[in-house]
Structure 1
């Protein structure tokens, strides 16, 4: 379960949910954007949101979740008389399964009612909600402008050399995360600059991602895409891999939607699998390197196992497939 809440609700909500041991809170969010990203990555059974009438962003978050990662949503609403209150109706129209009024404080009785409500909505059949797909929404791209995101780990430099060498006529930005010690990142970028068919550079914070250019994440920080197609470098959240492929892919899924093309190359572990699934869930085209050409099939296999991969291809066929995919987006 993922919960989204106002900061002052955090302790009470989590304690109330987990009191009897059969409900686990796997992620928390204090902003609507965090909730949307968290659902895309964690893929919980239930989402619980605390809602106040003035917080319009949470209604938008409900619509966005139900459009791209349909999940049963229970809204815990403060300051309403009942489920027929305007804010409750709006939450239901946005796609929530149920609304639970919370006006009596965090009593043991209310906590028990909350847990019962969560159990009822868990496993409920949900459908994709069309309102979040409205192209006029500010959170979604308004033009068809493709963007490519690539993740790699063990064996990645050689695979990237082959892949980038085949992107000669690509008219899209390429954002790359390669797991590597920070001391070796500059050398990697220099090497890729010699073998790539496109210009290669280290990503700079605040830089606009330009078509036909390759941007590598610096060592020790995450590379993310912002709403205006700018590059964001951040050390938060701390992660096993920094930069993290999941952090890149999840931000690209959120900001580029169906305009995104994801590529997961050779590597140990599962970094990138859930992010690639988020991209596919938002209509992006997703590719992974096949086992026969991977130095380590771990990351592609993890993505394949959870249904995140549209096509599994040998490394020498990936560049052509990605070029075709970007042309479909732009057409």
Structure 2
């Protein structure tokens, strides 16, 4: 049987058991479609899909641990697959709809808040046609290929050994995080006193979302929290967060440190990239900085943390028990990049010292 004539393999990701069952029954009635599995959130889905990758993914937006838009972006960046969004948040003109379209959703179905099962049954013909069309689009290579996975060299050359001062009174901490990081960062930053050393942060987050995230943290934290602007000083009592869609680089200015916001290709398929931030810290701060890699999927930041450790910085990785996703810290630990493995509850004290 040729791939084109084989049933379309579909995986359903939705936190509602009713929706998962209804979609499985509706799509399963079509002999040209085979539902190979379902999961209540994207992280469970990834574990199961790795064993048998689907031709098409049917995806909700509001789910625990990782939202559907973030998952859609990850899929399209790392393993492009047609994704059909089926959510109550995707009404005409809604911000979520625009985000889904921009991220590469093949089709969008808006579920009502009530009577979801009957709606899906009424829309069964449209759903099955969309699934078939999505597989056909993939076969015709209309789904764009994943971009090449670039390293930090695409933005910043590695240290030559002469850029960092041996000792300075300006000390700071660089933090890198991804999935689960918004909650983890809130916990860490809200626990810090205004007297703590400066902080620079890369949190994997889409463009236009980091400003609101920083403003929210600024309201609830004793320290100042802001989205990075080129020229911002790294100061005690201030946390600077990389803007979505651009890289964050720390540079030395005399005995002081300031940040530069850089427009450049994604590194490790992320922009901003933790590896870019950590490399700049290794290059220009060396032993005058600490590095912390926290919860997140993938390996972005692991190599950069190793460069920081080799440059004399103290380095820490969040432990598996307190991570939402033990991906980035696990890779850093595997590479020998972390001086210590610590729990989330220990990180504020390490930064405040």
Task: State the TM-score, normalizing by the size of structure 2.
Answer: 0.53
Select which of 231, 237, 240 maps to 1:212: 237
- CA–CA distance in structure 2, aligned partners of residues 29 and 316 of structure 1: 34
**Which aligned pairs between 1:259-298 and structure 2 lie closer than 5 A?**
259-298=288-327
Runs of 4+ in 1 over 3 A off after TM superposition: 26-30
Corresponding residue for 2:208? Answer: 183
Deviation (angstroms), 1:29: 7.7
Q: 1:235 aligns with which of 263, 268, 277?
A: 263
Q: What residue in structure 2 maps to residue 119 of structure 1?
A: none
CA distance in 1, matches of 2:276, 2:216: 25
Which sections of structure 2, spanning at least 5 residues, go unmatched? 1-149
Residues 44-123 of structure 1: pairs in structure 2 closer than 5 A:
61=160, 64=161
- What is the CA–CA distance in structure 2 between the aligned matches of 1:315 and 1:144, rounded to whole Å? 27
Indicate the larger mover: 270-279 or 204-213: 204-213
Q: Is the 8 A contact 2:167 2:288 kept in 1?
A: no
In structure 1, list runs of 5 or more residues that go unmatched. Answer: 1-25, 38-60, 65-136, 325-331
The answer to whether the 8 Å contact 2:152/2:275 transfers is no
Q: How far apart, in 2, do the equivalents of 1:29 and 1:282 lie? A: 17
Per-residue CA deviations over 1:61-92 (Å, capped at 9, x if unaligned) read: 4xx2xxxxxxxxxxxxxxxxxxxxxxxxxxxx
Check 1:220–1:206 CA distance in 2 against 1; reply closer, same or farther (3 A cut): same
- The secondary structure found in structure 2 opposite 1:182 is coil
- 1:159 aligned residue: 184
1:110-165: CA deviations, max 9, x gaps?
Answer: xxxxxxxxxxxxxxxxxxxxxxxxxxx66425523211100110000100011111
| Aligned twin of 1:299 | 328
Counterpart contact for 1:167–1:319, Cα < 8 Å? yes
> Given that residues 277 and 309 in structure 1 are in contact (C-alpha distance below 8 angstroms), is that contact kept between their aligned partners in structure 2?
yes
Q: Is the 8 A contact 1:268 1:299 kept in 2?
A: yes
Change in 2 beyond 3 A, CA 1:182/1:298:
same
Question: Structure 1 residue 28: deviation in Å?
Answer: 11
In 1, Cα distance between equivalents of 2:266 and 2:312? 28
Deviation (angstroms), 1:208:
2.0
CA offset at residue 27 of structure 1?
A: 8.6
Larger % of helix: which? 1
How many residue pairs get matched? 200
Q: Distance in 1 between matches of 2:300 and 2:318?
A: 14
| Residue of structure 2 equivalent to 1:194 | 219
With normalisation by structure 1, the TM-score equals: 0.56
Give the alignment partner of residue 276 of structure 2, picking from 222, 234, 247.
247
Equivalences for residues 10-29 of structure 1 within 5 A: none
Q: Tell me if the contact between 2:211 and 2:226 (Cα under 8 Å) persists in the aligned partners.
A: no
SS at match of 1:292: coil
Partner Cα distance (1:221, 1:28) in 2: 13
- Give the 3-state SS of the residue equivalent to 1:214 in structure 2: strand
RMSD: 2.4
